[in-house]
Structure 1
Amino acid sequence: MSAAETERPIYPPVRPRLSVEELLAAKNTQPITGLEDSEADTFESDEELEEFLASTYAERRRDIA
């Protein structure tokens, strides 16, 4: 057997160990400073959110029955 045949890839692959600070810096992540930082404009209105939630709950109940 050749050397190439006896060498197997390492699984899982070895990854460099990075600190939390290094990982955050690599993704250009900023710390959360308040609740408004986590807000998302997914729904245009409270009514649209309520319709989505009602539909979601109805589907869950339908699947249980």
Structure 2
Amino acid sequence: MSTPAPEDCGYPSPRPRLSVEELPAAENTQPIRSLEDLAAGTFESDQELEEFLAFTCAERRRDVA
């Protein structure tokens, strides 16, 4: 009995394998040159960031107790 192909089971066919050097070119990425390149701008203000950090810390401690 043969195993069905991935596309026959509703799975997408596998992508061709790329080398480490080929991946950035395929994704159209650029090297990180500074910390500003990593900034995501997720929070609108420092206060919003502080509220998120306090909430995250409280949630982590809640599960420990």
TM-score by length of 2: 0.71
CA separation in 2, counterparts of 1:14 and 1:53?
A: 39
In structure 1, the partner of 2:36 is 36
- The percent identity for this pair of structures is 71
TM-score by length of 1: 0.71
In structure 1, the partner of 2:20 is 20
In structure 2, the partner of 1:51 is 51
Q: State the number of aligned residues.
A: 58
Matched letter for residue 57 of structure 1: C
Superimposed CA distance per residue, residues 9-57 of structure 1 (whole angstroms, 9 cap, x where no aligned partner) = 69xx986543222111111011111111000110001110000000111
User: Which of structures 1 and 2 has the bigger CA Rg?
Assistant: 1
Matched letter for residue 23 of structure 2: L
> Where in structure 2 are there 5+ consecutive unaligned residues?
6-12
Query: Considering only aligned residues, what root-mean-square deviation do their CA atoms show, in Å?
Result: 2.2
